[in-house]
A and B are shown apart, each in its own frame.
Chain A
Amino acid sequence: GENVEQHPSTLSVQEGDSAVIKCTYSDSASNYFPWYKQELGKRPQLIIDIRSNVGEKKDQRIAVTLNKTAKHFSLHITETQPEDSAVYFCAASARNNAGNMLTFGGGTRLMVKP
């Protein structure tokens, strides 16, 4: 089955700096890669996603890049703000005979210091 590894597990940055979180996946058939943000005590929220036919996608201060050859994808947050502090999860979806299922990385705790 699919295996997703996420690094780093914790990341501390100064407000205004950039943050980068990286994920690798094992199944070359994976074709959908979402990122979720989970604030303390709240549900995971989808913040951006990318499909395998696209190499990069941006939405304001966040961007995701995908390298299918190397089987890794990354989340980039620019001009970080204290409200960006949360746990971020990457995931990969591969189609199997029964449909699609998401496999999540272990999460990255991002702390933005004011």
Chain B
Amino acid sequence: KAGVTQTPRYLIKTRGQQVTLSCSPISGHRSVSWYQQTPGQGLQFLFEYFSETQRNKGNFPGRFSGRQFSNSRSEMNVSTLELGDSALYLCASRRAQTPYEQYFGPGTRLTVT
């Protein structure tokens, strides 16, 4: 079974621009979560989607948004990029919302200049 995939893997953007990242979960997984990973802050939860609905949201500004499609693929968008948004963005999928195992994608490395 194919694992979680993310595109693109690397991205360089300029301050003020916006960016869209994509995540395809493991087949049959309906829940997708997004995390921001930075050296100083570790793994910070952004949001979780299940059945096209946002079920949980972390403590991030409204510039960070996401959505999930009917095939469970998910996108996250960051508008008005800031230098501090440079990070590795990881998505993770799991079968359902009960505490099943969660599997991570390879991440998208975003650099904001």
Residue numbers of A with Cβ under 8 A of B are: 31-32, 34, 36, 42-46, 49, 51, 89, 93, 95-96, 98-107
Decide if A44 touches B42 in the complex (CB within 8 Å): no
> Chain A contacts of B45 at CB under 8 A?
101-104
Q: Is the interface of B mostly helix, strand, loop or mixed?
A: strand
Q: How many A-B residue pairs have CB under 8 A?
A: 53
Decide if A43 touches B105 in the complex (CB within 8 Å): yes
> Chain B contacts of A106 at CB under 8 A?
42
Decide if B42 touches A49 in the complex (CB within 8 Å): no
Taking the nearest CB of chain A, how far is it from the CB of B97, in angstroms? 4
> Chain B contacts of A98 at CB under 8 A?
55-56
Bound form: Cα–Cα A45–B105 in Å? 9
Decide if A43 touches B104 in the complex (CB within 8 Å): yes
From B40, which residue of chain A is reached at the shortest CB distance? A106
Give the bracket for the number of chain B residues in contact with chain A: 20 to 34
Q: Is the interface of A mostly helix, strand, loop or mixed?
A: strand
Decide if B106 touches A34 in the complex (CB within 8 Å): no
Bound form: Cα–Cα A98–B35 in Å? 18
> Chain B contacts of A95 at CB under 8 A?
99
Decide if B42 touches A46 in the complex (CB within 8 Å): no
Bound form: Cα–Cα A32–B99 in Å? 6
Decide if A43 touches B101 in the complex (CB within 8 Å): no
- Tell me if B75 counts as interface (CB < 8 A to partner A): no
B64-82 near A? 1/0 per residue, CB < 8 Å: 0000000000000000000
**Interface CB pairs A-B, < 8 A, 30:** A42-B106, A43-B90, A43-B104, A43-B105, A43-B106, A43-B107, A44-B104, A45-B104, A46-B102, A51-B99, A89-B43, A93-B99, A95-B99, A96-B56, A98-B56, A99-B31, A99-B48, A99-B50, A99-B56, A99-B97, A100-B98, A100-B99, A101-B45, A101-B55, A101-B56, A102-B33, A102-B45, A102-B102, A103-B45, A104-B42
